[in-house]
Structure 1
């Protein structure tokens, strides 16, 4: 039996109990105007009807490959299991609850063709609610210099479901890894990829990033931010020519408890606003209180309090 030709792009999706959104995510890949790809879906031992949904797609489109983990192992094992099966020179990521614009792969592949020094390319994105309604926009920096600075200063400027990466570069790093906890793994990967070559973002909003109260960014914000501190500290060590030293990274004075509290306050304010937009006011209210507890004098917390005070008094309301 002849071997299937190697595609230009592999799209890698890891999913655990992905209903009701995983079908929309997969369809958004199959609807791409760029056709030379294969879709590798790693089912991390789902217990809902996700396996049946994936099997229907596999039967309908020969570009869909479904891999099933024997037991739930988490995002690192699932992503690396899929990465081991990638044959294409470029690998794209997508989360099981997000969606792609039809020209996503076409635009990103063209950018890689123009810029051989690129190792990772993301894009601007939309925030969407459960129905796909756009509730906000994300416009991260576009150029390598600004992205490198943001990575080392404040956080991850990449919407990970939007990234396209060179497979060889990704494999040279050993793929994804977990150092502290299961959170912030994409940030660690982007920091490491950015040390291998140029990174970038396209200005077009190519991804619909879904907002819901149960997402890890909301429910596990503090451990995610703490892992981000550790990954930045490790990156400083590597970028100064030193080997990674976990005990020293944990004690890095640049990643202080005060910085963690400030990041937690700012993140809580941001996600409270987003959850309000998608119709989750109770969870938004909880996040606002978490912001106050984390850092009551943080500028964004004070601004939030001022807005709430004006609403209480009825200021700014129109007749």
Structure 2
């Protein structure tokens, strides 16, 4: 993280960070869920990561009709962390929201979360509850709630923060970037909290997480290995402390994914 805060002139502006790769079939719905927000002071920065489909053309067309949508066009494929960093580098708002290209927000997500976050002035990060939906959007899962608060230590063993629910206050965090690691989002939340920051949870149903078949996050064995790697190689925890947090993380993950 860098220490310099953003300008106070962007106090109400939310910069939405959306990496996109082979998202032509879903990006229109994702953008529509942002355009339906009751809080209209936002910019949506879509970093299209050199995919083989028509995602760029779709975003470019929609951006012509809504100046708040900004297409970021990296010269080469770099993966989710690099795409998010391209968007973060162009973000102008005090508030940074994350929304993956296949997920959806409910209409009052930004309005309710902003009010909630402003009421917790010490919180560098906030997150909300959500439900899963099937790839075609026809099936909606059970509500997944969130805890009231998480510290760095608590987050190490917790799966509660879904990326597309996150809102970061750059007045507290300063400018920041994602690390080039498998779970770049998890590593980022830990980095934001490690200096002593807190994350607060708004236990309300405000996001839809689309379950895509073949997604890397669906490979639970590899996901578990990457969580262990994050403890040992990114956070530099010892084997005993890593095992303690890994056990907590695994139990919570099993409970979380027990039902759709």
- Secondary structure at 2:148's aligned position in 1? coil
- Secondary structure at 2:205's aligned position in 1? strand
- TM-score normalized by structure 2? 0.84
How many equivalent pairs are there?
Answer: 247
Q: Which residue of 2 aligns with 1:203?
A: 203
Structure 1 residue 252: Cα displacement: 2.0
Structure 1 residue 104: Cα displacement: 0.5
* 8 A contact 1:14–1:41 mirrored in 2: yes
Q: Trace 1:228-267 onto structure 2 (pairs within 5 A).
A: 228-233=227-232, 245=236, 249=237, 252-256=239-243, 263=250
Aligned structure 1 segments of 4 or more residues deviating by more than 6 angstroms: none
Provide the alpha-carbon RMSD of the alignment: 2.7
Structure 1 residue 227: Cα displacement: 2.7
* 8 A contact 2:135–2:213 mirrored in 1: no
Structure 1, gaps ≥5 residues long: 236-243, 275-319
- Secondary structure at 1:254's aligned position in 2? helix
Is 1:56 paired with 2:61?
Answer: yes
CA distance in 2, matches of 1:44, 1:160: 18
| Per-residue Cα deviation, 1:100-153 (whole angstroms, up to 9, x for no partner) | 000010011112222221110010001111232312221121224xx655413x
* 8 A contact 1:127–1:134 mirrored in 2: yes
Structure 2, gaps ≥5 residues long: 1-8
Higher RCO (Cα < 8 Å, 6 or more apart): 2
* 8 A contact 1:128–1:136 mirrored in 2: no
CA distance in 2, matches of 1:30, 1:184: 28
Is 1:74 paired with 2:79?
Answer: yes
Q: Which one of 122, 140, 143 corresponds to residue 149 of structure 2?
A: 143
CA distance in 1, matches of 2:117, 2:94: 11
Question: Which is greater in Rg?
Answer: 1
* 8 A contact 1:155–1:187 mirrored in 2: no
Is 1:87 paired with 2:89?
Answer: no
Greater helix fraction, Structure 1 or Structure 2: 1
- TM-score normalized by structure 1? 0.70
